[in-house]
Amino acid sequence: MVKKEDGSVRIYTKGAPDMLFDKLVGVQDQEGNVLDMMDECTVPAELKEDDDEITQIDLLEKTVKYFAHRAFRTLLICYRDMSMDEYESTKDEHNNFEKESDKDVLECDLVAMSIFGIQDPLREGIIESIEKVRLAGITTIMCTGDNIDTAIAISKNAGIITEDKVNDKFACMTGKDFREEVGGIIKVQDPEFPEDPSKTIDKVGNISKFRAVKQNLRVLARSSPEDKYLLVTGIQECDGVVAVTGDGTNDAPALTKADVGFSMGITGTDVAKGASDIILMDDNFTSIVVALRYGRSVYDNVRKFIQFQLSVNVVAMFIVFFGSVVLRDSPLNAVQMLWVNLVMDTLGALALATEPPAGDILDRQPYKKNNAIVTEVMWRNIFGHAIWQIIILVVILFSGQGWLCENYSIKCLKFNPNNSKECIEFNPFYSNELYVMNNEIEMWNSLNLTADKFNTTLIDKFTCNQYKTKNPMYPADKPCTKEQIAVKYLPQEQ
Partner 1 sequence: MAEVGNPNEESLKLAKNVHEHIGGMYNDLARAVLWNSSARIEKNDFSDPAYTEEYVTKGNVTEQGLIKFFMAIEGGEGCLGIKH
Q: Which residues of this protein are in contact with partner 1, per CB under 8 A?
A: 2, 12-14, 28, 30-32, 44, 46, 63, 66, 70, 72-73, 75, 77, 79, 113-114, 116-121, 267
Rank residues 126 and 342 by Cβ distance to partner 1 and give the closer one.
126
For 397, the 3-state DSSP assignment is: helix
The amino acid that residue 60 corresponds to is: L
Rank residues 71 and 396 by Cβ distance to partner 1 and give the closer one.
71
Rank residues 30 and 370 by Cβ distance to partner 1 and give the closer one.
30
- Least Å distance between CB 14 and partner 1? 6
Rank residues 12 and 454 by Cβ distance to partner 1 and give the closer one.
12
Rank residues 90 and 269 by Cβ distance to partner 1 and give the closer one.
269
Q: Which residues pair with 110 in a beta bridge?
A: 24
Rounded-to-integer distance, Cα 418 and Cα 489, Å: 13
- Least Å distance between CB 160 and partner 1? 19
Rank residues 114 and 354 by Cβ distance to partner 1 and give the closer one.
114
Please provide residue 461's backbone torsions phi and psi, each rounded to the nearest 5 degrees: -60, -45
Q: Is 373 exposed, middle or buried (0-12, 13-18, 19+ CB in 10 A)?
A: exposed
Rank residues 66 and 415 by Cβ distance to partner 1 and give the closer one.
66
Rounded-to-integer distance, Cα 91 and Cα 201, Å: 42
Query: How many angstroms from the chain centroid is the CA of residue 185?
Result: 25
Which stretches does DSSP call E strand in 110-232?
110-118, 142-143, 172-174, 185-189, 200-204, 219-221
> 3-state SS of the chain: helix, strand, coil percent to 5?
50, 15, 35
- Least Å distance between CB 123 and partner 1? 12
- Least Å distance between CB 159 and partner 1? 20
Rank residues 113 and 404 by Cβ distance to partner 1 and give the closer one.
113
Contact 275, 252 (CB under 8 A): yes
- Least Å distance between CB 13 and partner 1? 7
- Least Å distance between CB 131 and partner 1? 23
Rounded-to-integer distance, Cα 268 and Cα 242, Å: 20
For 448, the 3-state DSSP assignment is: coil
The half-sphere exposure of 23 on its side-chain side, counting CA atoms within 13 A, is 20
- Give the max Cα distance, the chain: 115
- Least Å distance between CB 247 and partner 1? 9
Contact 133, 245 (CB under 8 A): no
- Least Å distance between CB 92 and partner 1? 23
- Least Å distance between CB 286 and partner 1? 16
Rounded-to-integer distance, Cα 345 and Cα 434, Å: 13
Rounded-to-integer distance, Cα 104 and Cα 136, Å: 46
Rank residues 73 and 421 by Cβ distance to partner 1 and give the closer one.
73
